[in-house]
Every structure is written in C-alpha cells, then in structure tokens.
Structure 1
C-alpha cells in the first residue's frame, strides 16, 4: 500500500466524474495532504480548460466552485501516468475503447475504481470483468463505488453515504480513506458482483418508474414497480453469486430509492419523457448525459435469460427501448403474471 502513488485520476468529466474528483480533493484537503494532485480526463478541450483555468464545469455543474487542486486534461495517457488511483466515470459502452491506453500507462500498483452503472452490450460484461480482461487487473486492484449518489447533491456538499466494494478489504479501506470527508461517508464490503448488478438494474427500474410518472400514474404504481424491481434485482444478484445482504444496503435499496424518486435522476427523467410520448431518440436528445438504463437494458435482459432469471420489468423496458412495446400497455404487462405468494414472485 505504501508504494502506491498519491496522484488520483478520474476518467470522465461529466457531472458524476467531476463531483467524484471534488470528493477526492476535499478529502485530501481535510486529511491535510500537502498539494494534492487530482486530475480529470475530459473528452472536450473546452471542458478541460474550464476546469483547469476557472475551476468550474459549466456544462454539468454550472454553479459549483471546484477545489483549486483540481486540473483537467484531454490527454488520457498523461492523466493516467503516475496515478495510484484511476477512477472510471464514463458510459459503459465507451469503457473498453479507453482501456488499452489506460493499460499502457497504468502504474503497477494502481487501483482502478468503477463508478460505471452499466453492462457492455454484446458481452453482458460488468466493469470488473472488463477490467480483469483488458487490463490484466487482479481482483485486489479493482473496486466499485456505488450507492444513492446523485451528483449535484454531493457537489453541493449535502450529506451522502456510499459503498466501496473490493475483493480485498484493504483495498476498499484505502479507497474509503481517500473519499471520506465532512459530507461523504463511504462504507466497505467485498460483494463486487452484488454492488455492480444493483447499480446496473436500478437504472432500468428507474426508467419504468419514470414512464409511470409520465403516464400520470400515482405513488402506488411507482412503489409497486420499485418493490418488484428490487425483487428481480435480487434474483439476478443471487444467481451470479452476489450477497442478498447487499440488496438491503446503500448500493441496493438506497440507490434504487434515490434514482427512482429524484428529479435529478437521468434514468427517471428519460422514462418520464418516454411516458409523455417522446421517442427513444427524442428522449435521448433531451438529456445532456447518458441514461445508462436505456443503453444497458438489452444486456441486462440477455444476462438474465442466460441464467434463467425472470425479470419482467427489465423485459418490458427492453421491449419499450427496442420499439416493440408501447408505453401505454406497460401497466397491463407488468401486472399480468401468475398469482403466487410474494416471496416466490
């Protein structure tokens, strides 16, 4: 642990990537680190310039002042070189394309952390699996951070808790120390699979809740979707070897409730647009950033089918996104299941 460089890098300068970089910077300052080095990789030069010169990310966090120790670059190799922590905060479908550059410049002791809440289409791969495959990364050098973490609320320094999951408890603790601060409280566990799957599927469920909202359905309908969504998430988690306890925690129920309830949620917002009659293309155009549920739902359904897991809400969302199901028929489809005891549904 002592040989790991203290430079910290976040790959992705959207709202959550920028906010997480702020969390890292504020934690370093709180711990008394002298001249902390926190670097963001941004795809667009104007975003990098905004962060470095003006300490703002006008596109994604327009009213937030960023710490003076934050800088940004569009050179991924430069960003990653010499870093002890590399955080992935880009859309799931873009991760594989960036990993060769990261691998070429990754410090031998560096830890990679995923903030990504999606599966890769075509392979159904979780980010832990992608990093193991493409970076040759052992389990003890990978972690995932997930929980009820709406970026703007955290950027405003509103109290928030999260989960850091790694197969190696010492790695999770090392990351927790570097993210802990006055407004951000990390907890640790070893259930990487469970935490990843909870983060992926909750976005799909939030799409369904958003559609209910757009259709004018009330809280009973939305609460039913959230509860049944948690049940189908649990079935997939357990089939993949994850822990049931994760579903009751911050990465499970906590993240699901926040994403389904908040107007800040991109996935709920996308679903609301669909419920109001917009096409998938029109709903996507309204959003500034990726709604991972729309991108990953086909992979979620494929993964569930391969493991023999029933996920009716996810199946319905996949059909909606594919244009095979009209949102007006959604309620009937979600409720049209055989009568059975709740625990078996």
Structure 2
C-alpha cells in the first residue's frame, strides 16, 4: 500500500488554535460568531454599542434584539469598551456593516497587539474607492494579517447550532506555503471548528471577497423576478449566470474561478437567492411586487448590503472593463430610476452568446424587448 504523502493526524496536531478571540459587533451575525467561537472552546469577548443588548447577553444569555429566543453559551463576555474587548486577544473577528469597515479597522488597530490577525465578516466592496474590504482594512491596520470568513450562513441558524460550513480565507505567505497547517487561515479554522460548525481553508482572499460582495446583488435580481411573478426557471438562470459574473470579476482581480464555485460563492449565492430570510432577496421581492423602495420593510430603514454593493460592484466592473449585465440591471433599477419590467426584458433579449468563453459567438436576439409583466401574462 502506498503511504499517504501527508499524515492527517500530524497536520491536525501541528495546528494551534487561537485561545482568546474578540468579536467586534454585537448584531445577529457577530453574536452568532461569538457563540460559534465559545462552543469551540475559545475565550470570547463580544464588543457592541447598545447597552441593552450587552446587558441582555450578560444577564440573560440572550441577544433579545437581534437573536431573540436563542440561548447563548455561558462564558461570553460582553462589553462596550473597545480596549477591554481587544485586551489580550490573539485573533479578532470584525463583524460590522461593510460601509463601516475602514472606520472600525482604524479604531480596532489602535488597540491590537502587533501581528494579531483580523478576519472580516462583512461582505462588500468599498464605495468610492472600489477596494475590496480586506484592502481597505489593511490600509488602516498595517502589520496585521487580514482575512475573511464567508459562506452560506443565516445568523439564527448558526446560533442555534444547525450544521453550517464556511470558508476562512487569508493570503498565504511564503512560510504558510511551507507549513500550511500553521497558516493564519488554518489556525482560525481550527479555532472555530465544532460538531456543527465546519470551516474550510482558502488562500484566495480575493475570490472569497468577490463572491460575498456580488452574491447580494444577484439575490436582489432573483427577488425582483420572484416578486414579478416568475418562478424556478428564472431564478435558476439568474443564479447560474450571476455566478459567471462573480467568476469573471474575481478572475479579473487575481482571484480564482474555482473559488467562486465553493461555499463563499455558489454556496452563499444559492442560500441568499432562495429564502425571504435574506434581506437582499426580500427587498427584490417587494420591488418586484411594485412596492416603492421607501415603503419596503414596512417603511423601516433596513440596511440591505446588496443595495449598497450594487453601486460599488458596478463602479469596479466599469473600471475593469467587465460586462456584468445582471448586476447592471439591479443597479439601474435601484439607483438610476429604471423601470423594473423594461430593464429585465432588456436583460433577457440581449444578444445570444456562447456559454463557454472560448467559443466566440454573438448573435442578435430575434425578439424585441417587451415589459416583463407582459411576458408573464403571455406565459399565464
């Protein structure tokens, strides 16, 4: 029998978990990740701004505002003092909205010990600069390894210990290539692993970040078509072609197309495009039903990451000279006042092209664009 090149037991034995993890952001996902780390045996400190939320975590072991009814494990320390939260931390998860990453990175960096790794748990592209979030964070926290944790995750399911898988991505150094089991990504993955939470390790930070940013925009498109009265054929087409847009942008920025077929791409895209639990999908459904944007979510000011990311994704695509027609359709409806029915009819009647990029064919579509609503009536 041929002896395996790597003894899996020795790899696991060599990897050292981080012992003390600080989670910055006490919303639903931050609280869920604090729960994950605590269940994995780590010492966990959770930072947040809302005194009522922190008090409920400390006194009742529940985040009554963001994860009501879910009991959190004992031993999570909740605080509003950033210095206290980061004191002694040997790893950090930054779980705040994408638009705050630069500002929060600047604040966090002032309290971190040199070389402490930071995993970003938001998804998006920085507005205005077109930078990936890890690049923006690295500018504010020089000397700290910056990575991302991404995948198909709803916070309440994760907090309830439903089996969940994610990708942990950090760029690999030369030393990481020699000893991958001691890489930051591997140590982070081991630090969060438990019976119900399964991380996978990646060295393609760019691919993972692009998957997380673009999937939210595609989910809005799926919601729009669902709300307009269409069904599974349409959604499946948008998911498949949306994933191709994700792959194209990732590859243009130095990522790998393969990464986008994994948890942080196809996995997250499938989840977000399949459930009203996703705020992105839910927003799209409401808009497809004809509800005005300011009346969506009952008129409440709900932050929808895909709505914000549609601007930065298309800005970046234009700079790179990349066609992303689904994302462009969402952007035009959300931010340029385009009619939803007409915009998606135009999307469907674009020139006919080959699916493998190596086959260079473009044929004018024989059907003139018609409003989506009209197509729905015809189908009925």
CA pair 324-109 structure 1, distance change in 2 beyond 3 A: same
Residue of structure 1 in register with 2:372 after alignment: none
Distance 1:333 1:16 in 2: 37
Residue 343 of structure 1 and its aligned partner are, at CA, apart by 2.1
CA pair 121-158 structure 1, distance change in 2 beyond 3 A: same
Question: What are the equivalent positions in structure 2 for 1:94-243 lying under 5 Å apart?
Answer: 94-138=100-144, 141-168=145-172, 169=180, 170-243=183-256
Q: RMSD of the alignment, in Å? A: 2.0
Residue of structure 1 in register with 2:338 after alignment: 325
Q: 1:37 aligns with which of 14, 22, 43?
A: 43
Q: Deviations over 1:159-213 (max 9, x none)?
A: 1111111113411110011110010111101000000000000000001111111
Residue 320 of structure 1 and its aligned partner are, at CA, apart by 1.5
Distance 1:48 1:276 in 2: 38
Matched, 1:88 2:80: no
Q: Is the 8 A contact 1:55 1:66 kept in 2?
A: yes
CA pair 306-284 structure 1, distance change in 2 beyond 3 A: farther
* Residue aligned with 2:307, SS: helix
Q: Is the 8 A contact 1:266 1:287 kept in 2?
A: no
Moved more, 177-186 or 149-158: 149-158
Distance 1:280 1:316 in 2: 16
Question: What are the equivalent positions in structure 2 for 1:9-24 lying under 5 Å apart?
Answer: 9-24=22-37
Moved more, 171-180 or 281-290: 281-290
Moved more, 266-275 or 288-297: 288-297
Distance 1:85 1:48 in 2: 21
Consecutive unaligned residues in structure 1, runs of 5 or more: 29-35
Consecutive unaligned residues in structure 2, runs of 5 or more: 1-13, 173-179, 363-380
* Residue aligned with 1:165, SS: strand
Q: 1:72 aligns with which of 72, 75, 78?
A: 78
Distance 1:142 1:56 in 2: 30
CA pair 19-317 structure 1, distance change in 2 beyond 3 A: same
- Between the two proteins, the alignment pairs up a number of residues equal to 336
Distance 1:151 1:261 in 2: 16
Distance 1:300 1:137 in 2: 28
Q: What TM-score comes out, normalization by structure 2 length?
A: 0.84
Q: What TM-score comes out, normalization by structure 1 length?
A: 0.92
Matched, 1:49 2:25: no
